[in-house]
């Protein structure tokens, strides 16, 4: 018997595309929520982003669309809008990240759906939130990363700001959306009147929320944080260093105890009493000197030699890994973080397993992202009591796919 997943019984309607809303619903689906993804007849644009799988959609889509029931509805048609409104009556959660104003145009805004279903938890993900002078502007993750301060502090001081290599603004907004959903579900479960809520997630605010001391230091001391490359700004030494085999090793010896252990391994105990390095403030002030010294030490050893020595004395260290390294890493393998799931064509698709791990109530991957409209008939029959003939009639009219 298959154990019920922790969010079994929670129905989520996703009216999202690309990254933020679909990432949030993927997490909810991994833990058992019945996620019904509403796509246009053309499908989520993410299906064409990146390298393509044999199924005709991107490898990324296979993971992003997993565990979701896929329904294709033409929301430009009033009948299509009416279908989603009726489906919302039976939903616990509605998540959307469409361009501001679009959901209102389609009658799928919070005020209308809440009038149909007062217990609905409605999540709006947008660039700037539901209020303020920017609220009706379109927003993307890289704009949020720029306006949220992340890009300004990322990179080396002599170079222009750079991105992190992933859609970090979208992904962190997705996590905040999940936090909002779970918080609202808990509150609703303890509300005798079963009231829902409106979760307002702004990409820019989500980015700012993870910038640590960026705002407090400016607001209280007028300090504007600048780019510092791979150095930590507030503790040292912490950086990445070259090794003799052409690799890079990350070392974090930024506490007094670990710094002392690092000096011992490097056979530089003479620096233990050096006034420049006896405090964190001193080490930060002389971080460049420390990094040069550590880099010269690592450059004469292989990455395994460096990590083995540091592991023995408890100094945090690890290799800078690419996708191949991660996929074959024994820690990832031991924790079953790499999974293979068949797509609708039967092609095995490798992907990351569910995060986070719950020891007693873990999530699981049940199927990979599938074809546009794969579950349209199933969902309309189940939720709206339609017959096969009803669905075929809607297909003939171009309202569903």
Chunked mean pLDDT (size 10), the chain, 401 residues: 86 96 98 97 94 88 96 96 97 94 94 96 96 90 91 93 90 97 96 91 96 94 93 89 96 93 94 91 94 96 96 95 93 94 89 94 94 96 95 95 94
Q: Name the pTM for this structure.
A: 0.93
How is domain 238-242+248-319 classified at the CATH fold level?
formyl-coa transferase, domain 3 (3.30.1540)
Q: Which helix (H) or strand (E) holds 396?
A: helix 388-396
Backbone angles phi, psi at 333, to 5 degrees: -70, -45
Active-site residue flag, 170: yes
- The 8-class DSSP code of residue 159 comes to S
d(CA 27, CA 355): 8
Q: How many CA atoms lie within 13 A of 145 on its CB side?
A: 18
How is domain 11-210+333-396 classified at the CATH fold level?
Rossmann fold (3.40.50)
* DSSP string covering 123-136: EEEESS-SSSTTTT
The predicted pLDDT at position 345 comes to: 85
Domain ranges of the chain: 11-210+333-396, 238-242+248-319
Buried b (16+ CB within 10 A) or exposed e, 126-158: bbbbeeeebeeeebbbbbbbbbbbbbbbbbeee
Chain centre distance of CA 329: 21
* 346, burial (CB in 10 Å: exposed 0-12, middle 13-18, buried 19+): exposed
Q: Where are the alpha helices (DSSP H) in 117-255?
A: 141-147, 168-189, 203-208, 214-221
The predicted pLDDT at position 234 comes to: 87
Catalytic residue among 30, 44, 92, 170: 170
* DSSP string covering 18-47: SSHHHHHHHHHHHTT-EEEEEE-TT--GGG
Write out the two tokens for 331.
Answer: 């820690």
d(CA 185, CA 165): 33
- Give which of 138, 35, 166 is closest to 95, Cα–Cα: 35
| Contact (Cβ atoms closer than 8 angstroms) between residue 72 and residue 400 | yes
The predicted pLDDT at position 2 comes to: 64
- Give which of 140, 123, 132 is closest to 176, Cα–Cα: 123
């Amino acid at each position: 018997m298959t154990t019920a997943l922790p969010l079994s019984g929670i129905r989520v309607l996703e009216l999202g595309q690309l990254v933020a809303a679909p990432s949030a619903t993927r997490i909810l689906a991994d833990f058992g929520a019945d996620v019904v993804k509403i796509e246009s007849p053309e499908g989520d644009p993410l299906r064409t982003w990146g390298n393509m799988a044999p199924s005709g959609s991107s490898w990324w889509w296979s993971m992003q669309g997993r565990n979701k029931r896929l329904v294709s509805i033409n929301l430009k048609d009033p009948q299509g809008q009416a279908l989603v409104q009726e489906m919302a009556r039976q939903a616990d959660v509605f998540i959307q990240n469409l361009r501001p104003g679009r959901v209102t145009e389609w009658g799928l805004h919070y005020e209308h759906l809440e009038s149909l279903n007062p217990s609905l938890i409605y999540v709006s993900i947008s660039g700037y939130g539901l209020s303020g002078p920017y609220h009706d502007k379109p927003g993307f993750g890289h704009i949020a990363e720029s306006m949220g301060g992340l890009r300004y502090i990322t990179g080396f001081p002599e170079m222009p700001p750079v991105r992190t290599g992933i859609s970090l603004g979208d992904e962190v907004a997705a996590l905040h959306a999940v936090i909002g959903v779970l918080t609202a579900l808990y509150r609703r479960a303890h509300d005798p009147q079963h009231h829902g809520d409106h979760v307002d997630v702004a990409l820019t605010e989500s980015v700012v929320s993870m910038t640590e001391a960026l705002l407090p230091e400016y607001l209280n001391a007028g300090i504007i944080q600048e780019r510092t490359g791979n150095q930590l700004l507030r503790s040292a030494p912490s950086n990445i260093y070259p090794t003799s085999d052409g690799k890079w090793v990350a070392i974090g010896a930024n506490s007094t105890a670990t710094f002392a252990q690092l000096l011992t391994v490097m056979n530089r105990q003479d620096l233990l009493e050096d006034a420049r390095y006896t405090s964190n403030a001193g080490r930060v002030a002389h971080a460049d000197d420390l990094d040069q010294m550590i880099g010269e030490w690592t450059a004469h050893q292989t990455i395994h030699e460096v990590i083995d020595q540091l592991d023995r004395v408890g100094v945090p260290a690890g290799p800078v890994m690419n996708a191949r390294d991660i996929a074959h890493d024994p820690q990832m393998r031991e924790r079953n973080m790499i999974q293979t799931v068949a797509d609708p064509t039967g092609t095995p698709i490798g992907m990351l397993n569910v995060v986070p791990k719950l020891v007693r109530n873990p999530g699981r991957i049940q199927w990979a992202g599938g074809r546009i409209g794969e579950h349209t008939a199933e969902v309309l029959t189940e939720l709206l009591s339609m017959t096969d003939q009803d669905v075929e009639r809607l297909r003939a009219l171009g309202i569903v796919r």
